[in-house]
C-alpha cells in the first residue's frame, strides 16, 4: 500500500550497520600514472599487441575478403557482361 515514511538518504537508511567492510583509498598525489610511459609503455604496447595478432588477424582478413569479394561482384553485376549474364537465364 503506501510507504512507511521517510527512511533516510542513501547510506543513512536506518538499517543495521555493516560490519567487517574495509575500504582503502590512495591519494591521487601519490599515484604515478604516467611513470615510465615512454621507456616501458612502447615496449609493452608492442609486446601485448603482437601476442594478440593471432586472434585479431583472422577476423580482419575475413572482413577484408568478404568486402573485397562484394565490391568486385557488385562492379561485375553492374557491368555490361554482368547484365548480359543475368538476363540470359
- 26-46 pLDDT, tens digit per residue, is 777 777 777 777 777 888 889
Residue 86 contacts by C-beta under 8 Å, 6 or more apart in sequence?
Answer: 77
With a threshold of 0.75, does the pTM exceed it? no
Per-residue pLDDT for 14 more than 80?
no
Annotate 21-32 with b (16+ C-beta within 10 A) or e (fewer): eeeeeeeeeeee
Instruction: State the helix-helix crossing angle for 80-87 and 37-77, rounded to 10 degrees.
Output: 50
Per-residue pLDDT for 2 more than 60?
no
Query: What is the C-alpha separation between 69 and 39, in angstroms, rounded?
Result: 43
Cell of 34: 604516467
Amino acid at each position: 500500500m503506501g510507504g512507511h515514511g521517510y527512511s533516510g538518504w542513501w547510506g543513512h537508511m536506518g538499517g543495521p550497520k555493516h560490519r567487517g567492510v574495509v575500504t582503502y583509498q590512495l591519494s591521487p598525489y601519490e599515484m604515478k600514472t604516467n611513470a615510465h610511459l615512454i621507456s616501458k609503455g612502447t615496449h609493452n604496447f608492442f609486446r601485448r599487441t603482437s601476442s594478440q595478432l593471432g586472434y585479431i588477424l583472422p577476423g580482419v582478413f575475413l572482413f577484408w575478403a568478404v568486402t573485397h569479394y562484394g565490391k568486385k561482384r557488385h562492379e561485375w553485376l553492374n557491368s555490361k557482361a554482368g547484365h548480359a549474364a543475368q538476363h540470359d537465364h
